[in-house]
A and B are shown apart, each in its own frame.
Chain A
Amino acid sequence: MTEAALPRRQPFAMRFPSVMVFLAILALFTVGVTILSEGFGIGVISTSFVKTLGKTLCLCLVALAMDLVWGYCGILSLGHMAFFGLGGYAIGMWLMYARTEIIVLESLAAAPLPPTPEEVTNGIATQIFGVVGASEFPPIWAFAHSLPLQLAAVVIVPGLLALVFGWLAFRSRVTGVYLSILTQAMTLALSLHLFQNDSGLRGNNGLSGLQNLPGLSDVPQSIVSMWFFWGSALALALGYLLCTWVVSGKFGSVIRAIRDDEARVRFLGYPVEAFKLVIFTLTAVIAGIAGALYYPQAGIINPAEIAPIASIYLAVWVAIGGRGRLYGAVIGAAFVSLLSTWFTGGQAPDINLGFYTISWVDWWTVLLGLSFVAVTLFAPKGIGGLVDILIDRKSPNRHGADLGPDQGALREQEADK
């Protein structure tokens, strides 16, 4: 928290040793997985686990965004998984369209008459929407044929939604828990909307078969999964650098100040709403990109992914990892989501109490919920707090003044402990 005080001219690596450590670990991890993978290495790690790891990296990226908006700026957004999902939908539309187009063109090429453009479009529409009982393209698919436009949509759609929503919410000074509930309502409305068949995105079925890249059907998934793994690792590295850059410097100081005392910052003459809007939109864009990388690995996206509970879990990861420190978010997302996979995957051994057998498939969620309460009550710094103990970092003594993400979240007595 004292970066601002450091001399300006020092090289980046010197100013942020933690970034270098993080990037080194990430690079080591990537190389390690590549060597152990089926596609490019000795095949110790199965393709399905590579996909799990790749997805985890994407979750780490969206957790970074969450940390930026919540841990640093104090906005507890329960809508970032909605932005994540929107990114996935945007790329998914192109993947579905392009893959289907190839199939339709192939099948029509064999016909005695050359296909008319209408026949091609109808053919694609029937293939994509036949399963949900429609056969026409809804207007939102207007750009689905173009990869660059849909890639732009990955950034623009979540960004625009965040911009409009944020502008409305911040200008009417909706803050704190009210804002959280409002973002949750937005998420709920979006997922309810997408659940409808009439939304034009195949309703409850969502977009599927996204792991098959158009035109690359001959490339085995063991290779494709590695491509996405590398992509996710790169995105996480860039995201980490970007977030570090944002939270350092004057901008970072202002947003932390907003978190600690919004009114005071406003009285100092800063346009608080503009700062919040920038952060909210920027993190929405990061979430969208993470989603666009995640869903081709998952293979399917549907509205259940956007349900409010997903965003709550995101907050849980960040809180358990440790708010207000970027590596905390990454640790939290990776740790909790992998642990979740392990417990719900049925691999965790059941505990036999004699009178009752605890099956983790059933009890994991209970444990997660309660451990979350415990973290909130007893370890507000999360897992990241362990790092403090390790490097013996002391929080500054602020003589009882408020500090931390919320109004009075961390009082001096606690800080001194």
Chain B
Amino acid sequence: MLRIAALLSVCLMLAAPSSAQQADAPIQQLIQSQSELILKSSRRTIGPAIDALANSGLPEAQVVLDKWQTREMWVNEESGLFVYAEEIDRDTLRIFDFADGSEIGVVSDDGFDQIKPNSGIRGLIGTALVQFQLSDPNPETRQRALDAIERGAEESHLAALRGSLAAETDETILARKERLERLLTIAYGATNEERIEAIQSFDGDLGVDVRAALNPLLAVRVEAAGTLPEADDIGRVLKPGTDALSRDEAYELLVRADLAKPRISIEAQRTALIENISDGQVAGIQVATLDSQSARDMAYAALADQGTVTPVATEAEVDERLASHVFYERYIGAPPEVVVAAQLALKSIENKVALNQTFDLSLDALSLASIYFLAAIGLAITFGVMGVINMAHGEFIMMGAYTGYVVQLFIPDYTLSILVAIPLAFAVTFGAGVAMERLVIRWLYHRPLETLLATFGISIALQQIAKNIFGTQARPLTAPGWLDGSLVINDIVSISYIRIAIFVLALLFLALFLFVMNRTRLGLEVRAVTQNPRMAASMGINPDKINMLTFGFGSGVAGIAGVAIGLYAKVTSEMGSDYIVQSFMTVVVGGVGNIWGTLLGATMVGFLQKGIEWFNPSNTLAAQTYMILFIILFIQFRPKGIIALKGRAAEA
């Protein structure tokens, strides 16, 4: 072995004269002995290699595991020696010797292969590293050790963790350690009392980790017997033919326990019949008559009588066997006392979980409502106040989002770019809105259906132009770093900051709308022009100008909404059409001409959709379908929306 190593080192000397790696250092030899497994790099087989390193007692082993985990370990293709390395650039490495951490030199990466452990192996390495890291002076390393325990706990961690508690100085880490210690006690505690105590300490705790520790204790195995056995670890009694235990499963259980005759599948029966065809007959029955299931059953029974095939249970027999047995669950996860404690703890937790889930769902619904509100608020101005159907409204949202994208191309700082993008998006879509009003809409004020069609034309054209300019691929619009992540209230209730930002933006818009409409001269004039343009004109208001400004304002708001929606979802040329029908629905359901109606409409639509999703969690598409159907029906019975305008404004 030594000679081979010596030979290797000679080879290395020849191959790379500048390096002076210690090929015969104990750590290198240890790695070499495991090199096959390390190079194979599969989680299933890597165990012995990690164990060998972790249990070697060599001080360098920790470095090896560390570098291995962070993908800094490389192997020399020629000599097979392992080193760790820093990448200086794509093609060059600065390599170090594991034996003493000394730099060997700067080399090209051509002769070296990077060892890339997958995340499964990295997890195992992390688990092995725990023993070294728990008392590490660097708090970050200790945190990493705790992460590793959370991801893959082992029995040995419990002792190590308890050992490190006393010396822990950092308070947050201490709290984490204590919590983990209790969780590990639940799983690996030596005595039942110890475990029950740990379980009780988590009463009402919402953490996913607690449930993850408790649920395995309640693992059950379904068993069958003639009579129900008297024992502590027997759980529920199950009835065959229920959701918990189907008839087929129950019978299968009996067959496996040799308590009943097997059944036969239609396929197997068919094969058996075919095998026994002779002279066009099966057991004396003409093949041509076997064109129904009952005829085939009879033929099979006849064969069984002859003894050519194994007899199988008939339906009546199946029923009889099922009726004469009891099916029950047996707890296999923990001793009965622990199970009882875990059940009690879980019950109190689950009630709280349900409450929190409802709360989380409401937050989601609120967030969806705010997104719909944001998408619809521009429409509430152009359609709700002015009565102009603008089917290109969705495309204004898209224009806003693309403006954001273009701004980010020029301003790499995300915070600054968003701050620039918002007013710019307003300006761009305001301009587009004014242009559209001047060129198209004002000629069609008395022809709403034609406005609808003409704006459709514009919508189609704008979408295609966006495709021609930006391509059909979705474009990135990235939120600033401080909007990353989410506000975590507990393990169940959380909401991403970007959604909170959208919610706040929606409220701001609502306030802005109310302010402009009720407190400014523009708002007064807008209301005057909508109610009676001729009268307004005779009061010295220029209706043309007011219409233009109002339409521009509504479009500009849509542009800002586009930036927000692009941040949270995606920027594509078709994003507008995703929102247009829903936006109109929101406005119509809420009641045209009233911002509070739009708000209510958005809230209703958002909550409704989330509610339907909750009933049918595996099919989001169905939720959207049912929501639209509901809205259609709603409008049938309340054509003017939730808040119907009364009096003269209603006729306008």
The yes or no answer to B225 lying at the interface (CB within 8 A) is: no
B624 touches A192 (CB 8 A): yes
A176 touches B449 (CB 8 A): yes
**Proximity bits, B424-466, A CB within 8 Å = 1, else 0:** 0000000000000000100110111110111011111111110
The yes or no answer to A329 lying at the interface (CB within 8 A) is: no
B621 touches A195 (CB 8 A): yes
Closest to B461 in A: A369
The yes or no answer to B625 lying at the interface (CB within 8 A) is: yes
| Residue numbers in B under 8 Å from A182 (CB-CB) | 632, 635
Interface residues on A, range: 35 or more
A240-248, A272-280, A358-366: which one contacts chain B? A358-366
| Residue numbers in A under 8 Å from B456 (CB-CB) | 312, 315-316, 369, 372
Name B's interface SS.
helix
B290 touches A113 (CB 8 A): yes
B464 touches A369 (CB 8 A): yes
| Residue numbers in A under 8 Å from B619 (CB-CB) | 196, 198
The yes or no answer to B296 lying at the interface (CB within 8 A) is: yes
Closest to A196 in B: B621
Closest to A165 in B: B632
| Partner pick for B291 among A115, A184, A363, CB 8 A cutoff | A115
| Residue numbers in A under 8 Å from B628 (CB-CB) | 185, 188-189, 192
Interface centre among B287, B457, B637 (most CB of A within 10 A): B457
B196 to chain A, nearest CB (A): 46
The yes or no answer to B401 lying at the interface (CB within 8 A) is: no
The yes or no answer to B228 lying at the interface (CB within 8 A) is: no
Closest to B616 in A: A198
Q: Which of A78-125 contact B (CB under 8 A)?
A: 112-118
**Proximity bits, A12-55, B CB within 8 Å = 1, else 0:** 00000000000000000000000000000000000000000000
B449 touches A185 (CB 8 A): no
The yes or no answer to A407 lying at the interface (CB within 8 A) is: yes
| Residue numbers in A under 8 Å from B277 (CB-CB) | 112
In whole angstroms, what is the CA distance A365 to B205 when docked? 58
In whole angstroms, what is the CA distance A343 to B135 when docked? 73
In whole angstroms, what is the CA distance A369 to B636 when docked? 32
A84 to chain B, nearest CB (A): 18
A369 touches B632 (CB 8 A): no
The yes or no answer to B584 lying at the interface (CB within 8 A) is: yes
| Residue numbers in B under 8 Å from A189 (CB-CB) | 625, 628-629, 632
The yes or no answer to A405 lying at the interface (CB within 8 A) is: yes
| Residue numbers in A under 8 Å from B446 (CB-CB) | 407-408
A174 touches B621 (CB 8 A): no
| Residue numbers in A under 8 Å from B584 (CB-CB) | 181
B631 touches A373 (CB 8 A): no
The yes or no answer to B221 lying at the interface (CB within 8 A) is: no
Closest to A167 in B: B636
In whole angstroms, what is the CA distance A189 to B622 when docked? 9
| Residue numbers in B under 8 Å from A322 (CB-CB) | none
A370 touches B447 (CB 8 A): no
A374 to chain B, nearest CB (A): 8
In whole angstroms, what is the CA distance A178 to B274 when docked? 66
| Residue numbers in B under 8 Å from A371 (CB-CB) | 457
Interface centre among A168, A172, A185, A370 (most CB of B within 10 A): A185
| Partner pick for A112 among B274, B581, B639, CB 8 A cutoff | B274
| Residue numbers in B under 8 Å from A118 (CB-CB) | 293
A198 touches B457 (CB 8 A): no
B285 to chain A, nearest CB (A): 11
| Residue numbers in B under 8 Å from A117 (CB-CB) | 291-292
A405 touches B581 (CB 8 A): no
The yes or no answer to B563 lying at the interface (CB within 8 A) is: no
The yes or no answer to B585 lying at the interface (CB within 8 A) is: yes
| Residue numbers in A under 8 Å from B449 (CB-CB) | 76, 176-177, 180, 405-406, 409
In whole angstroms, what is the CA distance A174 to B277 when docked? 70
In whole angstroms, what is the CA distance A171 to B636 when docked? 8
B470 to chain A, nearest CB (A): 12
A336 to chain B, nearest CB (A): 12
| Residue numbers in A under 8 Å from B389 (CB-CB) | 177
In whole angstroms, what is the CA distance A5 to B636 when docked? 39
A345 to chain B, nearest CB (A): 17
4 closest A-B pairs by CB: A369-B461, A372-B457, A369-B460, A365-B464
Q: Which residues of B contact A (CB under 8 A)?
A: 270, 273-274, 277, 287-293, 296, 389, 440, 443-444, 446-450, 452-454, 456-465, 467-468, 577, 581, 584-585, 588, 619, 621-622, 624-625, 628-629, 631-633, 635-637, 639
Q: Besides A196-B621, A370-B458, 5 other CB < 8 A contacts?
A: A113-B274, A113-B290, A114-B291, A185-B585, A373-B440
